[in-house]
Structure 1
Amino acid sequence: MTQKRRPLTWRNILTAAGAALLASCAAVEAKVSSVASAETRKVSDERSKAIEKAVAHLISENQIPGAFVMVAEHGQIVHAEAKGYADVENRVPVTEDTIFRFYSMTKPLTCATVMTLYDDGLIGLDDPIKDYLPELAHMQVKTQGGLRPATVDITIRNLMTHTSGFSYAVLPGVSQQDYIDSNVFAIRNRLSESLEDHVKRLAGMPLVADPGTVWNYGESMGVLGRLVEVVSGKPFRTYMKERVLKPLAMDDTDFYVPAEKSDRLAQLYHMSLDGALSNADDDIQYGGSYLEKPLLEYGGAGLVGTPGNYMSFAQMLLNGGRAGDHRILSEESVRLMTSNQLDDSFGDAPLASSGRGPGIGFGFCGLVIRDVPEGAPPAAVGEYGWGGWASTNFWIDPRNQIAGLVFTQVIPDDIGSIQLSNDVRAAIYSADE
């Protein structure tokens, strides 16, 4: 396999991160220590070394094949490290231009795409989705006693907050078997059905609860992608590229990897319950080949791209919707996305079903840290972010003006996430000694 890769330089990293970072970086060739004063940075040289140590440890323990970690503070890159392999079998190293599967980190990008419609006055967040997609007009709820009609309609806000009542075939719950029996799982079917057909089949699935009453992870983002198509009159991919990806210079982000970039796609690995890594590339359960243009442009888990591309998006959110001279979203839309949308009726730990305890709320397509209870992983109040199935993660921290991301490509057997993100965040947010 012939690899044509640029060397890892600060010029390349900052260029990859796009206009959102370039606008705030006057000397892109400078080393990290001169980009921001070590005395004023939260991500000090010591914390940066702790990040490097955490990544190296996970690689040495064969928990991950490799990783790319990037952190920006006050709009400037303060840590960027590529380590290990993107392809273990062929000894291909991770670099800044390695392309990763975003999986559920697609969701915030879908949310931003929908919010452009809101900014244009084309939709209301509390509009019933049936007004745009009539196939979703008569949903049913599954209970232990059987099926009954939903008491309220699904709204766009419900879809953005995972309170629609939709679920996933891979998640346990009252409706899981219905999803399995009907083979309604967008990731598995991305090469074989259209977005329109997927949503029409999803309309036949029972909800796990009445809309607006329970937080439940699921297929809502596929519905939002179809909403974009109906309202804009354009394919979801086309509209997303025009309004979000191109203005952010996210040139390597798409729903597949074209032939000329195929050598840059990282291999996907699966971790068994006993901790063994095996190659899972092209496995249909995980989406099949990402070198093939899919029929289903899925807003829940369909995108691939580089870390620098995603940093452009994260920095745009941290900048209140602006990226250089471009305004991608209004300040109001960013505020709505990144602030908690779940009221007290959802309880102290509304995301408990996803393994997240008290103090964690949810905005639009991403979690929001409301509080950091004693014993919880280190974090900052006000953070917004989300992760992906292959153990990728990103977050923005308005209080400290930090945007961070970790990229690897490992799917654990328990549908959890490996330790990489927690270890990196612990290095940044652990108490000062």
Structure 2
Amino acid sequence: MDERAVRIEAAVTGAVTAGEVPGAAWWVGRHGEVLSRGAAGTRTPGAADPVAADDVFRISSMTKPVVAAVALSLVDDGLLSLDDPVDALLPELADRQVLVDAADPDAGTEPAARPISVRDVLTFRLGLGFDFTVPWPAPGMAALAAAGLPLGPPAPQAAPGPDEWLRRLAGVPLSHQPGTHWLYHVGASVLGVLVARAAGLTLPEALAERVLVPLGMDGTGFGVPPAARGRLGPHWTPPGPDGAREVYDAADGQWSRPPAFPDGGDGLVSTVDDLAAFATLLAVGGRAPDGSRVLGEETVRAMTSEQVGPVDDEGGGWGLGIGVRRTDEPGGRHAGSYGWDGGLGSTWWTDPVTGVTAVLLTNQMWASPRPPPLFEAFRQAAFGA
């Protein structure tokens, strides 16, 4: 085992031993070679049910890049065009009204200066979403909640079907003019509906046809695939003041069956091997292991290139449905690294400078929007010199 692999395993097993998370699985590779793959801890704290490297985890917001790849495959095939309005496929979002002042809903609304485009949806600049720069809840978020749209941690059985979900969303004015302001999450949910309508399939069907089957990602889905049901354990909240955790989702809970609304923002379960396969697709320019093309090379380049400017004060940017670092991370990822994290306890990033890809999946949700110490330690071990 080389030095990097020793560091990676020590970072994860140390966190498990210290009680930071009940269990985790990881995969780290470089230029197609596996550097470290393993698992540590248990599915249930204190129980004799060890996590295995092929276990299925709820990946929450890491869903976003996977669904974005489906959308971009439709662009490659001419079924979508980045700069076309979404009105024809999503007429519910035509002729939008926009808040005159995003911080003051009483200031009234004005017509949108132009339609929402496919590019706006992928870059999260459609005018709807979470604004982390203002106090919670911003008026736009309050309006989404008032429309009966789930806004908390992922809960796949809580939302209505796609048509009703979009109907409710259509009653909420945009917080910003299309194309002007990055807002998190809602664009990915809208993208899932757009993909389904453009493909003439359900989102799970389009995802399977265009990404999962070509890449052999048989542990990934909206709801656990039947063959993988024995590999999904419970998911946990962080320890409370008394050190105890609560079950956030049981093994036979919300992800054990297909949802009414397959959410392109946070609905998938997956495995470290499946996510490594997806990361490899992008790293090699869009080809599946058998050489067939899933995405065009130029499409992959556009997807993984920063498009919108800073989205936080820590070097983060955004491409076409995926996070892209704008700056070097001291001792870690370089500018141009791409991937994303999931607040239920997951992360995947690829550094094109070093060729390193690192995937970490845990069975405990984050306590805040900032990654827990394990995630910082894992990235330093995987991406550091």
Percent of residue pairs bearing the same amino acid type: 34
- Kindly report the root-mean-square deviation, in angstroms, between the aligned alpha carbons of the 2 structures: 2.3
In the alignment, what sits opposite 2:311?
A: 351
The correspondence for 2:87, drawn from 130, 136, 159, is 130
2:211 matches 1:249: no
Give, as a single letter, the amino acid of the residue that structure 1 aligns with 2:294.
Answer: I
For 1:189 and 1:52, the matched residues in 2 are separated by 32
1:299–1:401 distance in 2 versus 1, CA, 3 Å: same
In the alignment, what sits opposite 1:336?
A: 302
**CA drift at 1:188:** 3.4
1:275–1:101 distance in 2 versus 1, CA, 3 Å: farther
Give, as a single letter, the amino acid of the residue that structure 2 aligns with 1:422.
Answer: E
Q: Secondary structure of the equivalent of 1:327? A: coil
Q: TM-score, normalised by structure 1?
A: 0.80
Greater alpha carbon shift after TM alignment, 408-417 vs 393-402: 408-417
Structure 2 unaligned segments of length 5 or more: list them.
none
Instruction: Decide whether the 8 Å contact of 2:235 with 2:364 is kept in 1.
Output: yes
What are the superposed Cα offsets for residues 31-66 of structure 1, whole Å, 9 maximum, x if unpaired?
A: xx5xxxxxxxxxxx2222122222122212322111
In the alignment, what sits opposite 1:154?
A: 116
Greater alpha carbon shift after TM alignment, 54-63 vs 392-401: 54-63
Q: Secondary structure of the equivalent of 1:315? A: helix
For 2:271 and 2:320, the matched residues in 1 are separated by 23
**CA drift at 1:302:** 0.9
The correspondence for 1:300, drawn from 234, 257, 265, is 265
In the alignment, what sits opposite 1:39?
A: none
What are the superposed Cα offsets for residues 246-276 of structure 1, whole Å, 9 maximum, x if unpaired?
A: 0000011111124553321031111257484
In the alignment, what sits opposite 1:9?
A: none
Instruction: Decide whether the 8 Å contact of 2:143 with 2:172 is kept in 1.
Output: yes
Greater alpha carbon shift after TM alignment, 312-321 vs 92-101: 92-101
1:181–1:280 distance in 2 versus 1, CA, 3 Å: farther
What are the superposed Cα offsets for residues 145-173 of structure 1, whole Å, 9 maximum, x if unpaired?
A: 23333323211111111111211499642
In the alignment, what sits opposite 1:419?
A: 373
Instruction: Decide whether the 8 Å contact of 1:191 with 1:288 is kept in 2.
Output: no
Instruction: Decide whether the 8 Å contact of 1:86 with 1:98 is kept in 2.
Output: no
Matches within 5 A, 1:43-82: 45-82=2-39
1:277–1:328 distance in 2 versus 1, CA, 3 Å: farther
Structure 1 unaligned segments of length 5 or more: list them.
1-32, 34-44
2:352 matches 1:398: yes
In the alignment, what sits opposite 1:200?
A: 167
1:236–1:254 distance in 2 versus 1, CA, 3 Å: same
Matches within 5 A, 1:360-375: 360-372=316-328
Instruction: Decide whether the 8 Å contact of 2:156 with 2:254 is kept in 1.
Output: no
For 1:189 and 1:166, the matched residues in 2 are separated by 20
Q: Secondary structure of the equivalent of 1:227? A: helix
Q: Secondary structure of the equivalent of 2:36? A: strand
In the alignment, what sits opposite 1:222?
A: 189
Instruction: Decide whether the 8 Å contact of 1:270 with 1:278 is kept in 2.
Output: yes
1:146–1:290 distance in 2 versus 1, CA, 3 Å: same
2:146 matches 1:181: yes
Report the count of equivalent residues. 373
Q: Secondary structure of the equivalent of 2:68? A: helix
Instruction: Decide whether the 8 Å contact of 1:273 with 1:413 is kept in 2.
Output: no
**CA drift at 1:183:** 2.1
Greater alpha carbon shift after TM alignment, 324-333 vs 420-429: 420-429
1:48–1:289 distance in 2 versus 1, CA, 3 Å: same
In the alignment, what sits opposite 1:315?
A: 280
For 2:121 and 2:241, the matched residues in 1 are separated by 36
2:335 matches 1:381: yes
In the alignment, what sits opposite 1:12?
A: none
Q: Secondary structure of the equivalent of 2:357? A: strand
Give, as a single letter, the amino acid of the residue that structure 2 aligns with 1:84.
Answer: G
Q: TM-score, normalised by structure 2?
A: 0.90
**CA drift at 1:105:** 0.6
